[in-house]
Chains A and B, each alone.
Chain A
Amino acid sequence: MVKSVLKEVAPRLREVLAAIDNWEQVEEIRLRLNRPLVIKGRFGEYGINYFMQKCQVIDSYIVTNEDISRTIQIMSKNSWYALEEEVRSGYLTLENGHRVGIVGKVILEQGRIKNIKHVSGLNIRLAREIRGSANQIMRQLFLQGELLSTLIISPPGCGKTTLLRDIARQLSNQGFNVVIIDERSEIAACYHGCPQLDVGLRTDVLDGCPKAEGITMALRGMSPQLIITDEIGHPADGLALAEAMKSGVKVISSCHGDSLADVRQRQWVKECSSLFQQAIVLSRRNGPGTIEQVLKWK
Protein backbone atom coordinates (compact mmCIF):
# COMPACT_ATOMS: atom_id res chain seq x y z
CA MET A 1 0.00 0.00 0.00
CA VAL A 2 2.81 2.37 0.88
CA LYS A 3 4.43 1.65 -2.45
CA SER A 4 1.32 2.85 -4.28
CA VAL A 5 2.77 6.34 -4.06
CA LEU A 6 5.03 5.41 -6.98
CA LYS A 7 2.26 5.85 -9.51
CA GLU A 8 1.70 9.40 -8.25
CA VAL A 9 5.16 10.71 -9.11
CA ALA A 10 6.89 11.68 -12.37
CA PRO A 11 8.06 8.70 -14.48
CA ARG A 12 11.70 9.68 -13.95
CA LEU A 13 11.26 9.66 -10.17
CA ARG A 14 9.53 6.29 -10.35
CA GLU A 15 12.77 4.81 -11.64
CA VAL A 16 14.82 6.52 -8.95
CA LEU A 17 12.48 5.64 -6.09
CA ALA A 18 12.47 2.01 -7.19
CA ALA A 19 15.78 1.79 -5.29
CA ILE A 20 13.94 2.05 -1.97
CA ASP A 21 13.96 -1.40 -0.41
CA ASN A 22 12.57 -0.62 3.04
CA TRP A 23 9.19 0.86 2.16
CA GLU A 24 7.74 -0.27 5.46
CA GLN A 25 9.96 2.14 7.35
CA VAL A 26 9.82 5.14 5.01
CA GLU A 27 7.84 8.07 6.40
CA GLU A 28 8.60 10.92 4.03
CA ILE A 29 9.92 11.48 0.53
CA ARG A 30 11.13 15.04 0.15
CA LEU A 31 11.49 16.73 -3.22
CA ARG A 32 13.17 20.13 -3.23
CA LEU A 33 13.89 21.93 -6.47
CA ASN A 34 17.55 21.73 -7.55
CA ARG A 35 18.47 19.96 -4.33
CA PRO A 36 19.01 16.32 -3.45
CA LEU A 37 16.16 13.89 -3.04
CA VAL A 38 15.77 12.78 0.59
CA ILE A 39 14.09 9.67 1.96
CA LYS A 40 13.22 9.95 5.65
CA GLY A 41 12.03 7.46 8.17
CA ARG A 42 12.67 5.82 11.47
CA PHE A 43 16.12 4.84 10.19
CA GLY A 44 17.10 8.50 9.75
CA GLU A 45 17.56 9.64 6.18
CA TYR A 46 19.28 8.67 2.95
CA GLY A 47 19.46 9.66 -0.69
CA ILE A 48 19.49 7.73 -3.96
CA ASN A 49 22.28 8.38 -6.44
CA TYR A 50 22.27 8.33 -10.23
CA PHE A 51 23.20 4.64 -10.22
CA MET A 52 19.94 3.95 -8.36
CA GLN A 53 21.76 3.01 -5.18
CA LYS A 54 21.20 4.26 -1.66
CA CYS A 55 23.73 6.91 -0.66
CA GLN A 56 24.43 9.92 1.53
CA VAL A 57 21.98 12.79 1.03
CA ILE A 58 24.73 14.99 -0.38
CA ASP A 59 25.31 12.56 -3.31
CA SER A 60 21.63 12.06 -3.97
CA TYR A 61 19.70 12.56 -7.21
CA ILE A 62 19.08 16.27 -7.82
CA VAL A 63 15.39 17.02 -8.22
CA THR A 64 14.62 18.97 -11.40
CA ASN A 65 11.84 21.39 -12.22
CA GLU A 66 10.48 18.81 -14.65
CA ASP A 67 10.28 16.22 -11.85
CA ILE A 68 8.28 18.51 -9.61
CA SER A 69 5.93 19.89 -12.24
CA ARG A 70 5.21 16.43 -13.69
CA THR A 71 4.60 15.05 -10.23
CA ILE A 72 2.17 17.84 -9.47
CA GLN A 73 0.38 17.25 -12.77
CA ILE A 74 -0.01 13.57 -12.05
CA MET A 75 -1.11 14.12 -8.47
CA SER A 76 -3.68 16.68 -9.54
CA LYS A 77 -4.85 14.47 -12.42
CA ASN A 78 -3.70 17.28 -14.70
CA SER A 79 -6.31 19.55 -13.14
CA TRP A 80 -4.62 22.13 -10.98
CA TYR A 81 -7.82 24.19 -10.87
CA ALA A 82 -9.60 21.38 -9.03
CA LEU A 83 -7.22 21.65 -6.09
CA GLU A 84 -7.45 25.34 -5.22
CA GLU A 85 -8.98 24.66 -1.82
CA GLU A 86 -6.37 22.03 -0.94
CA VAL A 87 -3.47 24.10 -2.22
CA ARG A 88 -4.64 27.01 -0.13
CA SER A 89 -4.42 24.86 2.98
CA GLY A 90 -0.92 23.76 1.98
CA TYR A 91 -1.39 20.08 1.26
CA LEU A 92 -3.16 17.52 -0.91
CA THR A 93 -4.50 14.15 0.08
CA LEU A 94 -3.86 11.43 -2.49
CA GLU A 95 -5.95 8.43 -3.34
CA ASN A 96 -4.30 6.07 -0.89
CA GLY A 97 -4.32 8.51 1.96
CA HIS A 98 -0.78 9.79 1.38
CA ARG A 99 -0.47 13.48 2.06
CA VAL A 100 1.62 15.93 0.13
CA GLY A 101 2.78 19.23 1.55
CA ILE A 102 3.38 21.96 -1.03
CA VAL A 103 5.59 25.05 -0.91
CA GLY A 104 6.39 27.63 -3.55
CA LYS A 105 5.54 31.19 -4.45
CA VAL A 106 2.30 32.09 -2.71
CA ILE A 107 -0.16 34.27 -4.64
CA LEU A 108 -2.28 36.55 -2.50
CA GLU A 109 -5.59 38.12 -3.32
CA GLN A 110 -6.83 40.78 -0.92
CA GLY A 111 -4.59 39.46 1.80
CA ARG A 112 -5.83 35.89 1.46
CA ILE A 113 -3.86 33.04 -0.03
CA LYS A 114 -5.22 32.38 -3.50
CA ASN A 115 -2.84 29.91 -5.02
CA ILE A 116 0.71 28.62 -5.03
CA LYS A 117 2.70 29.24 -8.16
CA HIS A 118 6.16 27.95 -9.06
CA VAL A 119 6.05 25.00 -6.70
CA SER A 120 9.55 24.49 -5.32
CA GLY A 121 9.11 21.71 -2.83
CA LEU A 122 6.95 18.68 -2.13
CA ASN A 123 6.91 16.60 1.00
CA ILE A 124 5.22 13.27 0.38
CA ARG A 125 4.15 11.85 3.72
CA LEU A 126 3.29 8.20 3.41
CA ALA A 127 0.11 7.10 5.10
CA ARG A 128 0.25 3.89 6.99
CA GLU A 129 -2.09 2.41 9.45
CA ILE A 130 -0.67 0.49 12.33
CA ARG A 131 -3.42 -1.83 13.39
CA GLY A 132 -3.18 -2.65 17.02
CA SER A 133 -1.22 0.48 17.87
CA ALA A 134 -4.01 1.29 20.34
CA ASN A 135 -4.00 -2.16 21.96
CA GLN A 136 -2.14 -0.93 25.03
CA ILE A 137 -4.31 2.09 25.51
CA MET A 138 -7.62 0.33 24.94
CA ARG A 139 -7.72 -1.03 28.49
CA GLN A 140 -7.24 2.45 29.89
CA LEU A 141 -10.25 3.80 28.00
CA PHE A 142 -12.76 1.88 30.08
CA LEU A 143 -13.61 2.06 33.77
CA GLN A 144 -15.93 -0.66 35.05
CA GLY A 145 -17.15 -1.26 31.52
CA GLU A 146 -17.89 2.39 30.86
CA LEU A 147 -16.05 4.31 28.13
CA LEU A 148 -14.30 7.40 29.47
CA SER A 149 -13.97 10.75 27.72
CA THR A 150 -10.24 10.97 27.20
CA LEU A 151 -7.79 13.72 26.38
CA ILE A 152 -4.60 12.43 24.76
CA ILE A 153 -1.68 14.77 25.35
CA SER A 154 1.47 14.37 23.32
CA PRO A 155 4.29 16.26 21.60
CA PRO A 156 4.29 16.08 17.77
CA GLY A 157 5.48 12.86 16.16
CA CYS A 158 4.46 10.49 18.96
CA GLY A 159 1.82 8.74 16.95
CA LYS A 160 -1.30 10.58 18.14
CA THR A 161 -3.08 10.42 14.83
CA THR A 162 -2.24 6.78 14.21
CA LEU A 163 -3.45 6.02 17.72
CA LEU A 164 -6.75 7.91 17.32
CA ARG A 165 -7.40 6.06 14.05
CA ASP A 166 -6.83 2.69 15.68
CA ILE A 167 -8.99 3.63 18.67
CA ALA A 168 -11.78 4.63 16.25
CA ARG A 169 -11.42 1.33 14.39
CA GLN A 170 -11.43 -0.85 17.48
CA LEU A 171 -14.28 0.88 19.31
CA SER A 172 -16.34 1.10 16.15
CA ASN A 173 -15.90 -2.60 15.52
CA GLN A 174 -16.93 -3.25 19.12
CA GLY A 175 -20.29 -1.63 18.43
CA PHE A 176 -19.89 2.08 19.17
CA ASN A 177 -21.32 4.66 16.78
CA VAL A 178 -18.25 6.78 16.10
CA VAL A 179 -18.03 10.13 14.34
CA ILE A 180 -14.61 11.45 13.40
CA ILE A 181 -14.31 15.19 12.88
CA ASP A 182 -11.28 15.14 10.61
CA GLU A 183 -10.43 18.78 10.07
CA ARG A 184 -7.06 18.11 8.47
CA SER A 185 -8.00 14.85 6.73
CA GLU A 186 -5.30 13.11 8.71
CA ILE A 187 -7.18 10.53 10.74
CA ALA A 188 -9.23 8.87 8.00
CA ALA A 189 -7.24 10.29 5.06
CA CYS A 190 -10.35 10.83 2.96
CA TYR A 191 -10.14 11.08 -0.81
CA HIS A 192 -13.31 12.53 -2.37
CA GLY A 193 -14.91 12.19 1.07
CA CYS A 194 -14.31 8.46 1.39
CA PRO A 195 -11.96 7.15 4.12
CA GLN A 196 -8.86 5.54 2.63
CA LEU A 197 -7.78 3.95 5.88
CA ASP A 198 -9.71 1.51 8.03
CA VAL A 199 -11.62 3.47 10.65
CA GLY A 200 -14.11 0.76 11.58
CA LEU A 201 -17.54 -0.50 10.62
CA ARG A 202 -19.64 2.04 12.47
CA THR A 203 -17.59 5.16 11.86
CA ASP A 204 -18.75 8.27 10.02
CA VAL A 205 -16.26 10.90 8.96
CA LEU A 206 -16.80 14.63 8.55
CA ASP A 207 -13.86 15.37 6.30
CA GLY A 208 -12.17 18.76 6.25
CA CYS A 209 -14.74 20.15 8.65
CA PRO A 210 -13.84 22.78 11.26
CA LYS A 211 -14.02 21.07 14.64
CA ALA A 212 -16.48 23.34 16.45
CA GLU A 213 -19.02 23.29 13.61
CA GLY A 214 -18.40 19.61 12.95
CA ILE A 215 -19.14 18.59 16.51
CA THR A 216 -22.47 20.43 16.43
CA MET A 217 -23.33 18.91 13.05
CA ALA A 218 -22.53 15.41 14.27
CA LEU A 219 -24.63 15.86 17.40
CA ARG A 220 -27.60 17.00 15.35
CA GLY A 221 -27.68 14.33 12.74
CA MET A 222 -25.45 11.34 13.34
CA SER A 223 -26.40 10.29 16.90
CA PRO A 224 -22.82 9.47 17.87
CA GLN A 225 -21.86 7.62 21.03
CA LEU A 226 -18.29 8.71 20.60
CA ILE A 227 -16.75 11.71 18.87
CA ILE A 228 -13.09 11.56 17.90
CA THR A 229 -11.15 14.62 16.86
CA ASP A 230 -7.54 15.71 16.94
CA GLU A 231 -5.52 18.73 17.94
CA ILE A 232 -8.00 20.91 19.72
CA GLY A 233 -6.58 24.36 20.21
CA HIS A 234 -9.24 26.98 19.77
CA PRO A 235 -11.57 28.09 22.59
CA ALA A 236 -14.55 27.41 20.29
CA ASP A 237 -13.43 23.76 20.00
CA GLY A 238 -13.44 23.52 23.79
CA LEU A 239 -16.97 24.91 24.01
CA ALA A 240 -18.27 22.53 21.36
CA LEU A 241 -16.62 19.55 23.04
CA ALA A 242 -18.14 20.61 26.38
CA GLU A 243 -21.53 20.77 24.68
CA ALA A 244 -21.06 17.24 23.34
CA MET A 245 -19.93 15.80 26.67
CA LYS A 246 -22.80 17.48 28.52
CA SER A 247 -25.24 15.77 26.20
CA GLY A 248 -23.81 12.40 27.13
CA VAL A 249 -21.57 11.78 24.14
CA LYS A 250 -18.08 10.50 24.91
CA VAL A 251 -15.16 12.36 23.40
CA ILE A 252 -11.64 11.19 22.65
CA SER A 253 -9.42 13.97 21.49
CA SER A 254 -5.76 14.78 21.22
CA CYS A 255 -3.82 17.96 21.79
CA HIS A 256 -0.19 19.06 21.60
CA GLY A 257 1.66 19.31 24.88
CA ASP A 258 4.16 17.63 27.18
CA SER A 259 2.13 17.27 30.34
CA LEU A 260 -1.25 18.04 31.84
CA ALA A 261 0.15 21.05 33.68
CA ASP A 262 1.38 22.40 30.36
CA VAL A 263 -2.01 21.90 28.71
CA ARG A 264 -3.94 23.36 31.64
CA GLN A 265 -2.56 26.83 30.75
CA ARG A 266 -4.48 26.92 27.49
CA GLN A 267 -7.65 28.88 26.99
CA TRP A 268 -9.73 26.09 25.45
CA VAL A 269 -8.99 23.74 28.34
CA LYS A 270 -10.82 26.03 30.73
CA GLU A 271 -13.99 25.45 28.74
CA CYS A 272 -14.02 21.71 29.00
CA SER A 273 -11.26 20.13 31.07
CA SER A 274 -13.59 19.32 33.96
CA LEU A 275 -15.77 17.31 31.59
CA PHE A 276 -13.00 15.01 30.43
CA GLN A 277 -12.76 11.97 32.64
CA GLN A 278 -9.09 11.23 32.13
CA ALA A 279 -5.95 12.36 30.37
CA ILE A 280 -3.28 10.14 28.83
CA VAL A 281 0.18 11.55 28.23
CA LEU A 282 2.26 10.05 25.41
CA SER A 283 5.94 10.24 24.59
CA ARG A 284 8.38 8.72 22.14
CA ARG A 285 10.57 7.13 24.78
CA ASN A 286 10.00 3.52 23.71
CA GLY A 287 9.02 4.30 20.13
CA PRO A 288 5.96 6.30 19.02
CA GLY A 289 2.92 5.86 21.23
CA THR A 290 4.61 5.15 24.57
CA ILE A 291 2.14 5.77 27.40
CA GLU A 292 3.85 8.00 29.95
CA GLN A 293 1.04 8.71 32.34
CA VAL A 294 -2.65 8.03 32.83
CA LEU A 295 -4.50 10.56 34.96
CA LYS A 296 -8.01 9.67 35.97
CA TRP A 297 -10.27 12.38 37.35
CA LYS A 298 -13.00 10.04 38.36
Chain B
Amino acid sequence: MIICSSGLIGLIMANTYMTRPLNLYHLQLAIQLLETEINYARSSLPEACSRIAEQIKQPVASFFGEFAANLQSLESPTVIEAWNRALQILKEAGFLKEDLEIMAQLGNVLGQSDADDQIKHLSLLQNRLASAIKQAEQERDKNVRLWNYLGFCVGALVVLLLF
Protein backbone atom coordinates (compact mmCIF):
# COMPACT_ATOMS: atom_id res chain seq x y z
CA MET B 1 0.00 0.00 0.00
CA ILE B 2 2.63 2.48 1.08
CA ILE B 3 4.84 1.62 -1.85
CA CYS B 4 1.93 1.98 -4.27
CA SER B 5 0.70 5.37 -3.04
CA SER B 6 4.18 6.79 -2.77
CA GLY B 7 4.94 5.47 -6.27
CA LEU B 8 1.76 7.08 -7.56
CA ILE B 9 2.74 10.47 -6.15
CA GLY B 10 6.04 10.10 -7.93
CA LEU B 11 4.29 9.30 -11.21
CA ILE B 12 1.99 12.33 -10.88
CA MET B 13 4.96 14.60 -10.29
CA ALA B 14 6.69 13.10 -13.30
CA ASN B 15 3.56 13.69 -15.37
CA THR B 16 3.53 17.43 -14.66
CA TYR B 17 7.03 17.61 -16.10
CA MET B 18 5.82 15.66 -19.12
CA THR B 19 2.82 17.87 -19.93
CA ARG B 20 4.42 21.31 -19.64
CA PRO B 21 6.52 21.18 -22.83
CA LEU B 22 3.58 19.67 -24.67
CA ASN B 23 1.18 22.40 -23.53
CA LEU B 24 3.67 25.11 -24.37
CA TYR B 25 4.18 23.56 -27.76
CA HIS B 26 0.44 23.72 -28.50
CA LEU B 27 0.38 27.30 -27.30
CA GLN B 28 3.22 28.19 -29.63
CA LEU B 29 1.41 26.50 -32.48
CA ALA B 30 -1.73 28.53 -31.74
CA ILE B 31 0.22 31.80 -31.68
CA GLN B 32 1.72 30.82 -35.03
CA LEU B 33 -1.79 30.27 -36.40
CA LEU B 34 -2.88 33.65 -35.05
CA GLU B 35 0.07 35.29 -36.78
CA THR B 36 -0.94 33.66 -40.06
CA GLU B 37 -4.56 34.76 -39.63
CA ILE B 38 -3.49 38.36 -39.03
CA ASN B 39 -0.83 38.45 -41.69
CA TYR B 40 -2.66 36.85 -44.59
CA ALA B 41 -6.37 37.03 -43.87
CA ARG B 42 -6.56 40.15 -41.66
CA SER B 43 -9.31 38.33 -39.78
CA SER B 44 -10.63 40.09 -36.72
CA LEU B 45 -9.59 38.70 -33.33
CA PRO B 46 -12.89 36.97 -32.44
CA GLU B 47 -13.02 35.37 -35.88
CA ALA B 48 -9.37 34.26 -35.86
CA CYS B 49 -9.43 32.96 -32.29
CA SER B 50 -12.58 30.89 -32.67
CA ARG B 51 -11.04 29.31 -35.77
CA ILE B 52 -7.85 28.53 -33.85
CA ALA B 53 -9.90 26.97 -31.06
CA GLU B 54 -11.22 24.44 -33.55
CA GLN B 55 -7.78 23.48 -34.81
CA ILE B 56 -5.74 23.13 -31.68
CA LYS B 57 -5.59 20.66 -28.76
CA GLN B 58 -6.89 21.21 -25.24
CA PRO B 59 -6.42 23.11 -22.98
CA VAL B 60 -5.14 25.76 -25.39
CA ALA B 61 -8.30 25.35 -27.49
CA SER B 62 -10.62 26.32 -24.65
CA PHE B 63 -8.40 29.30 -23.86
CA PHE B 64 -8.78 30.69 -27.38
CA GLY B 65 -12.46 29.76 -27.50
CA GLU B 66 -13.07 31.56 -24.22
CA PHE B 67 -11.11 34.61 -25.36
CA ALA B 68 -13.17 34.87 -28.56
CA ALA B 69 -16.40 34.45 -26.60
CA ASN B 70 -15.36 37.11 -24.09
CA LEU B 71 -14.62 39.59 -26.86
CA GLN B 72 -18.04 39.08 -28.37
CA SER B 73 -19.94 39.29 -25.10
CA LEU B 74 -22.47 42.07 -24.66
CA GLU B 75 -20.61 44.25 -22.20
CA SER B 76 -17.81 44.58 -24.81
CA PRO B 77 -14.78 44.25 -22.54
CA THR B 78 -11.35 45.52 -23.56
CA VAL B 79 -8.89 43.05 -25.06
CA ILE B 80 -6.85 42.94 -21.87
CA GLU B 81 -9.92 42.14 -19.75
CA ALA B 82 -11.05 39.40 -22.12
CA TRP B 83 -7.52 38.02 -22.36
CA ASN B 84 -6.87 37.93 -18.62
CA ARG B 85 -10.22 36.33 -17.94
CA ALA B 86 -9.43 33.61 -20.48
CA LEU B 87 -5.97 33.09 -18.97
CA GLN B 88 -7.74 31.65 -15.91
CA ILE B 89 -8.40 28.57 -18.02
CA LEU B 90 -4.68 28.02 -18.58
CA LYS B 91 -4.03 28.64 -14.90
CA GLU B 92 -6.55 25.99 -13.93
CA ALA B 93 -5.05 23.65 -16.51
CA GLY B 94 -1.80 23.80 -14.54
CA PHE B 95 0.27 26.22 -16.56
CA LEU B 96 3.18 27.63 -14.55
CA LYS B 97 3.12 31.23 -13.37
CA GLU B 98 6.13 32.16 -15.47
CA ASP B 99 4.47 30.83 -18.64
CA LEU B 100 1.28 32.74 -17.86
CA GLU B 101 3.28 35.93 -17.44
CA ILE B 102 4.72 35.56 -20.93
CA MET B 103 1.18 35.20 -22.27
CA ALA B 104 -0.24 38.04 -20.17
CA GLN B 105 2.03 40.55 -21.89
CA LEU B 106 0.45 39.90 -25.27
CA GLY B 107 -2.94 40.98 -23.91
CA ASN B 108 -1.65 44.53 -23.59
CA VAL B 109 -0.92 44.93 -27.28
CA LEU B 110 -3.11 42.47 -29.14
CA GLY B 111 -5.31 44.13 -31.74
CA GLN B 112 -4.20 47.66 -30.87
CA SER B 113 -1.86 48.44 -33.74
CA ASP B 114 -1.32 47.82 -37.43
CA ALA B 115 -0.56 44.38 -38.84
CA ASP B 116 3.24 44.80 -39.07
CA ASP B 117 3.41 45.69 -35.43
CA GLN B 118 1.10 42.85 -34.39
CA ILE B 119 3.23 40.35 -36.26
CA LYS B 120 6.35 41.60 -34.50
CA HIS B 121 4.70 41.09 -31.12
CA LEU B 122 3.51 37.64 -32.08
CA SER B 123 6.92 36.49 -33.32
CA LEU B 124 8.51 37.81 -30.17
CA LEU B 125 6.06 35.78 -28.13
CA GLN B 126 6.80 32.70 -30.21
CA ASN B 127 10.52 33.10 -29.53
CA ARG B 128 9.90 33.41 -25.83
CA LEU B 129 7.66 30.35 -25.87
CA ALA B 130 10.31 28.44 -27.81
CA SER B 131 12.90 29.12 -25.16
CA ALA B 132 10.40 28.21 -22.46
CA ILE B 133 9.80 24.93 -24.28
CA LYS B 134 13.52 24.22 -24.41
CA GLN B 135 13.86 24.85 -20.73
CA ALA B 136 10.79 22.73 -19.99
CA GLU B 137 12.22 19.87 -22.03
CA GLN B 138 15.50 19.97 -20.14
CA GLU B 139 13.66 19.88 -16.86
CA ARG B 140 11.52 17.03 -18.10
CA ASP B 141 14.55 14.94 -19.09
CA LYS B 142 16.15 15.60 -15.75
CA ASN B 143 13.16 15.08 -13.51
CA VAL B 144 10.81 12.54 -15.06
CA ARG B 145 12.95 9.49 -14.41
CA LEU B 146 13.96 10.83 -11.03
CA TRP B 147 10.34 11.16 -9.84
CA ASN B 148 9.34 7.83 -11.39
CA TYR B 149 11.91 6.00 -9.27
CA LEU B 150 11.96 8.32 -6.31
CA GLY B 151 8.31 7.64 -5.48
CA PHE B 152 8.80 3.90 -5.31
CA CYS B 153 12.17 4.10 -3.58
CA VAL B 154 10.84 6.35 -0.83
CA GLY B 155 7.88 3.99 -0.43
CA ALA B 156 10.23 1.03 -0.12
CA LEU B 157 12.46 2.89 2.33
CA VAL B 158 9.52 3.77 4.55
CA VAL B 159 8.46 0.11 4.54
CA LEU B 160 11.94 -1.00 5.43
CA LEU B 161 12.20 1.46 8.29
CA LEU B 162 8.80 0.52 9.67
CA PHE B 163 9.49 -3.15 9.84
In the docked arrangement, what's the CA distance between A79 and B111, Å?
A: 4
List of A residues within 8 angstroms of B115 by Cβ: 81, 84
In the docked arrangement, what's the CA distance between A167 and B71, Å?
A: 39
The contact size tier of chain B is 20 to 34
In the docked arrangement, what's the CA distance between A165 and B154, Å?
A: 82
- Least CB distance from B88 to A in Å reads 19
Digit string of A76-107 for contact with B (CB within 8 Å is 1, else 0)? 11111110100000000000000000000000
Is the C-beta of A284 less than 8 angstroms from some C-beta in chain B? no
Determine whether the beta carbon of B46 is less than 8 Å from that of A77.
yes
**B contact set with A: CB distance below 8 Å:** 38, 42-47, 71, 75-76, 78-79, 82, 110-115, 117-118
Given contacts A80-B111, A115-B114, 18 further A-B contacts (CB under 8 A): A7-B76, A73-B79, A73-B111, A73-B112, A77-B44, A77-B46, A77-B47, A78-B44, A78-B46, A78-B79, A79-B111, A81-B38, A81-B42, A81-B114, A81-B115, A82-B42, A82-B43, A84-B114
List of A residues within 8 angstroms of B118 by Cβ: 81
List of A residues within 8 angstroms of B42 by Cβ: 81-82, 84
In the docked arrangement, what's the CA distance between A84 and B75, Å?
A: 26
Determine whether the beta carbon of B79 is less than 8 Å from that of A81.
no
Chain A contacts with B in 2-43, Cβ cutoff 8 A: 7, 11
Known: A73-B111, A114-B114. A82 touches B75 (CB 8 A): no
Question: Most chain-A CB neighbours within 10 Å: which of B44, B110, B114?
Answer: B114
Question: Most chain-B CB neighbours within 10 Å: which of A77, A81, A114?
Answer: A81
Q: Which residue of A79, A84, A114, A115 is within 8 Å of B45 (Cβ)?
A: A79
- Least CB distance from A76 to B in Å reads 7
Known: A77-B71, A78-B44, A79-B44. A11 touches B114 (CB 8 A): no
In the docked arrangement, what's the CA distance between A81 and B79, Å?
A: 14
Known: A76-B44, A78-B45, A81-B118. A11 touches B75 (CB 8 A): yes
